[in-house]
């Protein structure tokens, strides 16, 4: 190796590799000490709190709870973020069109699939300290990187539009004008990102996300038949009747309500921004499991809240958010309908924050500009402008008169499922790459689960494609 005076940077051009070596003990420490940024300091502050919780946790009876409180975040956010406006509408369509039956255990299955996939992003982020987009560009080059980004940005933008549709429709139930509803939502998105601190942003968004639970009281007011729910969970019956094409479409939309590309990019980047390390992987798994559990309960609540529409034979085939709430009002009361509408509004807001952040993380990683919520605006203006710009553009589209909102809502979850297999292929290749993952490379059963999810998604997509091209095949 050259002497330090001939090689001004020990790091430049070096190949990264998985390591748990402390920065202060590394060979590059003398160089790094003069390059510490505010982002590093904020991240170190979070790590300090985690280290203290670990020490005190050993001596206190419930000390581990504080540690989990500090490390929980990306997993809960990603799953409650994915319980977004179009997802809750998909669950509502399941409940209103087919009642209690197949779709309740099926929703649980989709969240298990979601957990399998998202757990891999926790490991990738904690081990490499790099976002998903950055790793794809690093390992597969710009050609495949731009393909992956194309899918992500296109899907993210469409989904973002549907979130503002949800905001507009949810508040529309209370008579709020669309411009005020959408403008107010934008203010909340901006308020969340201007904290200049990942931790604060995460806690604000989590506190908003927990209101996804509004669907639970709405479901209770709908007086579900718990015996039928238990029977459905055990038997997956009754299986929906009617047009097989419509059932397949709803199955696809329900999968798309749980497993989507933006979730991969978001959770991995959030794990990195949070500063998680390999020793935090188990906590990250718990976080992801907790998120999947909460989101599946809230999703089932959305199904149960709309089952009265099924029992009263109300055709909800083309319902949007406000129409669901309005149709539910005479059946479950004003309070239940209002909770439902507020739940859709909340789902839209939280997802708008998470999805616009996902786009901004990916953009920053690819452009190699600052991409952390720990950075002040002046140090990461492209990151914040992408975040704010994508939210503004989506919000503006929703306010255009005669914009085909129905078209976007109809297609967004289906497109999410269809774009998922390539995203999963990149994920599986990365998480099986020993040069990237070191000892945290995927095990046999994780691969079986990951490949199974990928194959199921491809089969679902192909079934949809065949049924569209040959509609008589499924009676469409």
Partner 1 sequence: MDSHYADVPENQSALAPVDLKPEQLSLQDPRAVLSLLEADQVVAAKRRTHFGRKNLSIATKALLWGLRVYVVAMVVIVLISVYQAFHAAH
For position 139 contacting partner 1 by CB under 8 A, the verdict is yes
Locate 111 and state its tokens.
């969240």
The answer to whether 341 and 214 are in contact (CB under 8 A) is no
For position 451 contacting partner 1 by CB under 8 A, the verdict is no
Region near partner 1 per CB under 8 A, out of 136-144, 168-176, 282-290, 339-347: 136-144
Locate 235 and state its tokens.
């038997």
Q: Report, in Å, the least distance between residue 400 CB and partner 1.
A: 18
Nearest residue (CB) to partner 1, 139 versus 285: 139
Q: Which of residues 39-58 bind partner 1 (CB under 8 A)?
A: 39-41, 43-45, 47-48, 51-52, 55
Locate 322 and state its tokens.
């406000």
For position 379 contacting partner 1 by CB under 8 A, the verdict is yes
Nearest residue (CB) to partner 1, 105 versus 438: 438
The Cα–Cα gap between 67 and 71 comes to: 6
For position 147 contacting partner 1 by CB under 8 A, the verdict is yes
Q: Which of residues 390-409 bind partner 1 (CB under 8 A)?
A: 407
For position 382 contacting partner 1 by CB under 8 A, the verdict is no
**First-to-last C-alpha distance (Å) of the chain:** 69
For position 315 contacting partner 1 by CB under 8 A, the verdict is no
For position 475 contacting partner 1 by CB under 8 A, the verdict is no
For position 422 contacting partner 1 by CB under 8 A, the verdict is yes
The answer to whether 83 and 263 are in contact (CB under 8 A) is no
Q: For residue 85, give the DSSP letter.
A: H
Nearest residue (CB) to partner 1, 33 versus 191: 33
Q: Report, in Å, the least distance between residue 338 CB and partner 1.
A: 30
Q: Which of residues 455-474 bind partner 1 (CB under 8 A)?
A: 458, 461, 464-465, 468-469
Nearest residue (CB) to partner 1, 15 versus 241: 15
Give the contacts of 426 (CB within 8 A, at least 6 positions apart).
132, 136, 140, 144, 148
The count of residues in the chain is: 476
The Cα–Cα gap between 54 and 66 comes to: 9
Among 204, 425, 446, 456, contact with partner 1 (rule: CB under 8 A): 425
**Is omega for the bond preceding 291 within 30 degrees of 0, making it cis?**
no
Give the contacts of 428 (CB within 8 A, at least 6 positions apart).
120, 442, 447, 450, 451, 454
Q: Which of residues 173-212 bind partner 1 (CB under 8 A)?
A: none
Among 3, 25, 187, 234, contact with partner 1 (rule: CB under 8 A): 25
- Strand runs labelled E in 119-241: none
């Amino acid at each position: 190796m050259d002497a330090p005076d001939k090689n001004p940077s020990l790091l430049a051009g070096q190949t990264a590799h998985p390591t748990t070596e402390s920065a202060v003990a590394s060979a590059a420490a003398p160089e790094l000490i003069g390059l510490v940024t505010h982002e590093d300091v904020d991240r170190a502050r979070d790590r300090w709190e985690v280290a203290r919780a670990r020490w005190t946790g050993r001596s206190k009876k419930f000390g581990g709870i504080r540690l989990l409180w500090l490390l929980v975040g990306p997993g809960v956010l990603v799953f409650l973020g994915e319980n977004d406006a179009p997802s809750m509408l998909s669950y509502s369509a399941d409940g209103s069109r087919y009642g209690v039956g197949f779709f309740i255990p099926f929703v649980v299955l989709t969240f298990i699939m979601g957990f399998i996939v998202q757990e891999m992003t926790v490991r990738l982020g904690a081990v490499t300290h790099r976002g998903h987009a950055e790793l794809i560009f690093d390992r597969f080059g710009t050609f495949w990187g731009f393909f992956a980004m194309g899918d992500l940005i296109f899907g993210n933008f469409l989904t973002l539009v549907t979130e503002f549709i949800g905001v507009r429709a949810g508040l529309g139930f209370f008579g709020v004008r669309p411009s005020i509803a959408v403008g107010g939502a934008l203010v909340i998105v901006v308020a969340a990102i201007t904290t200049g601190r990942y931790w604060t942003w995460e806690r604000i968004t989590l506190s908003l996300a927990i209101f996804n639970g509004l669907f639970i009281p709405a479901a209770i007011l709908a007086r579900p038949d718990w015996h039928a729910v238990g029977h459905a969970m055990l038997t997956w019956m009754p299986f929906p009747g009617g047009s097989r094409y419509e059932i397949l479409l709803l199955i696809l939309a329900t999968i798309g309500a749980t497993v989507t590309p933006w979730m991969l990019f978001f959770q991995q980047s959030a794990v990195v921004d949070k500063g998680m390390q390999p020793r935090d992987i188990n906590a990250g798994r718990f976080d992801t499991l907790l998120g999947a559990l909460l989101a599946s309960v809230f999703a089932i609540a959305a199904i149960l809240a709309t089952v009265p529409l099924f029992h009263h034979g109300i055709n909800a085939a083309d319902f949007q958010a406000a129409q669901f709430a309005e149709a539910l009002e005479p059946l479950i009361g004003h309070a239940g309908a209002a909770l439902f509408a507020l739940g859709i509004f909340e789902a839209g807001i939280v997802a708008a924050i998470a999805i616009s952040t996902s786009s901004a993380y990916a953009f920053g990683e690819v452009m190699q500009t600052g991409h952390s919520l720990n950075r002040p605006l002046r140090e990461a203006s492209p990151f914040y402008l992408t975040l704010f710009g994508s939210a503004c553009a989506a919000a503006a589209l929703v306010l255009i008169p005669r914009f085909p909102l129905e078209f976007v809502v109809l297609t967004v979850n289906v497109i999410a499922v269809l774009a998922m297999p390539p995203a999963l292929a990149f994920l599986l290749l990365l998480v099986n790459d020993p040069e990237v993952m070191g000892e945290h490379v995927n095990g046999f059963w994780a691969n079986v689960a990951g490949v199974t999810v990928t194959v199921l998604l491809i089969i679902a997509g192909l079934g949809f494609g065949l049924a569209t091209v040959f509609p008589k095949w499924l009676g469409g």
